[in-house]
Amino acid sequence: MIINVDLSGEVPIYQQLRDRVVEAIAEGELIEGSALPATRALAADFGINFHTVNKAYDLMRQQGLIRLNRKTGAVVTPTPADPAFRAEWTARARTLLAEAVAKGLRADEVLQTCRSVLDSFGATQAEDAR
């Protein structure tokens, strides 16, 4: 898995790391049981503090996306969406969609973009086929 982050960007590095892993899971590049790089190795690759990687991994652990174990390290373990996740996700989506409307994007443009992004994820393509 190749992770790209913008070390000089406005989005915190730990958030970028988390976001890239979530995208890799959605795209099917990482599947349940996939091991993530060790925190120190990943930190060394980017030239960042390993606590930054720890923060990203801990966030993903709290969100139920990975399991952390001293022997196996960080391993992908997606869990089903619960009602609390659905409510939080809906609130975030509402704000993102409100930004699009506030910037003048038409509803058909927004829907087309959403469909395009969803279609790029292998997991949703398999789900749609059912």
Q: Tens of pLDDT along 50-81?
A: 999 999 999 999 999 999 998 889 999 977 88
The answer to whether position 7 is within a domain reads no
Structure confidence at residue 81 (pLDDT): 87
Tallying the residues shown for the chain, one arrives at 130
Residue matched to tokens 């975030």: 92
| Domain match, 115 and 70 both | no
What number is the average pLDDT over the span 27-49?
94
Q: Do both 69 and 93 map to the same domain?
A: no
Q: Give mean pLDDT, residues 17-28.
A: 94
Quick one: tokens of 28? 């099917």
Supply the range of the domain harboring residue 114.
83-123
pTM: 0.83
Residues 45-53: what's their mean pLDDT?
95
Neighbouring C-alpha atoms within 13 Å toward the C-beta of 120:
7
105 shares a domain with 90: yes
- For the purposes of burial, counting CB atoms within 10 Å of the CB of 50, is it exposed (0-12), middle (13-18) or buried (19 or more)? middle
Q: Cβ atoms within 10 A of the Cβ of 42, count? A: 20
pLDDT above 80 for 18:
yes
Q: Are residues 71 and 111 in the same domain?
A: no
- Assess whether 18 and 69 both reside in one domain: yes
Question: Do 17 and 53 belong to one domain?
Answer: yes
